[in-house]
Structure 1
Amino acid sequence: MRPTDDYHWISTFLEAQAAELGAAMNTLLAYGRDLKDCAAWLDQHGSDFGKASREDIEAYLIACDAQGLSRATRARRLSAIKQIYRFAFEESWRTDNPAIQIKGPGRAQRLPKTLDIPEVDGLLAAARTVGRSPADRLRNTCLMELLYATGMRVSELVALQVSAARGDPRMLLVLGKGGKERMVPLSPPARDALAAWLAEWDRQRETERARGIPPPRHLFPSRGKSGHLTRHRFYLLIKELAVAGGVAPDKVTPHTLRHAFATHLLANGADLRVIQTLLGHADVATTEIYTHVLDERLSELVLEHHPLTKTGARKPTEDT
């Protein structure tokens, strides 16, 4: 049955994405925001998803450009529109897909920011000293060691189940995008940090059990709605660690540690396909960006340290 209005289109599409593809909540929220913006624009111009033409969709994208929205945002909005129309075609809500031949603006090729090894060491050392209590410091150390050792996304890290971490594991089972599972190996420092935090986790549960509080499912629990440490709280924490570790806070985000993990592996000879598997990338082309990061870093090192790049460096003679 065809939806009666645009918001019914959007809600039905999002429900299908969640049920059939296991789309993450953050992905669904982004789709919802983008599609509601498009629906509002179409309504203002006397149209809707049911009768919009290719020209209408292109006019909306031109309006997005006029608002000063970035290429990435416009590309993401077009992607959401294409997906809802593909779904509508499959459900026979429409006999055509007005967005299928529209080419997006593409994404600007920006190399991800990363950290060098001394900067990562500074963050890891800070995690052992930052926190209101010894328990906080054990948790912070475990968070940082796991993040750098595995290259997990922060959403994967904070949502880890405690059951996956039992038994001094050499490998950790991670639930990634689209509900896909993958195994990531743990370094000895990460295993030590995990064991120390699990001992504290169990101690806290004994206290709570005596008060009739059921044990949480998550390795990093919280009293919030999600039941675990939020991405926002971890973002604030990593900024605190940057300050304490003497690393420029504007260089450090949870994703920067993921980039550092991949870049450092590549610099030490790891195979690109292995890194792809560890990061959970569906396409190796996504992983290949780290080869460019490494090339840029090597160029910076040459320019910084080669004697011929110094001011007043010796000029070559005819005999050289």
Structure 2
Amino acid sequence: MTGFGVASGETSLGSVAVECRALNHRGLTVKLRLAAECQGFEAALEARVRSRIDRGAVSMAVAVQVRNVPDAVIDLALAERVVDELRELAQKLGTAVTLSDVLAFPGVIPVERAGVRLTREVPDDLLALVDAALDALLESRRSEGASTAAAIEEQLDALERASASVAERAPQLAGLYRDRVLQRVNEFLEGRARTMEPGEVVREVAVFADRVDVAEEQQRLAAHLARGRALLAESGPIGRSLEFLVQEMLREVNTLGSKVLDADIAHQVVAMKTAIDRIREQAANLE
């Protein structure tokens, strides 16, 4: 399931912006792109992501703008020595010494840049921003998940309708087969002394009826449909469970289709496989 979340704010490191993205993936992968000020936080931040997300290709970028507030204090002793040396040089070169020449000399204005000592322990204020970005990402995934669940529900309905059509058609097959058998036998025996005994027809039709009986497959398929709807009603991660369930649905439909060689039922089998394939595609988008 895709998602996106950002958060920004002031921290002990400086101004921080956290951006999280998630793309569809069968498992969970985490990629971090951290500012130099965040080196050493990789393991902790990846663990944070994995504690919140179960599935997807997640990337997190952390940008830091460090606040540099230098304390400038003129080193007067050094400045005086620099002035003396520059004046001597200026006299030889026939030029003048300016204040900017003195101040530009290294060390005249010692600068101590404010910074944060980096450790492997992530500051709490940075973790708060990471959590805020993950919260936003998860919220966007929940919104997409609701739409995906509705799309899966539509395909479950389509699958159920096709199964109902098969259930209506299947009981008629034995009678149709009986009529075809009698017609062919009568055509074969026409003009001959021998006739086919009714018992022989009954046995032939009984064997056929047993071979094309798909009641068990339809019962199991109905159970899978009920389980699919139950999963959609759950609040936790259901993507992998749906993918396994789709495999079971397809197994029943394939068995059903191989048992019955009937044009009407074959049409419904195609419809069921189409619905199952769409459910599989959508399930890959769910956590």
Indicate the structure with greater strand content.
Answer: 2
TM-score tier by shorter-chain length is under 0.3
TM-score, scaled relative to structure 2? 0.24
Larger radius of gyration: 2
Normalised TM-score (structure 1): 0.23
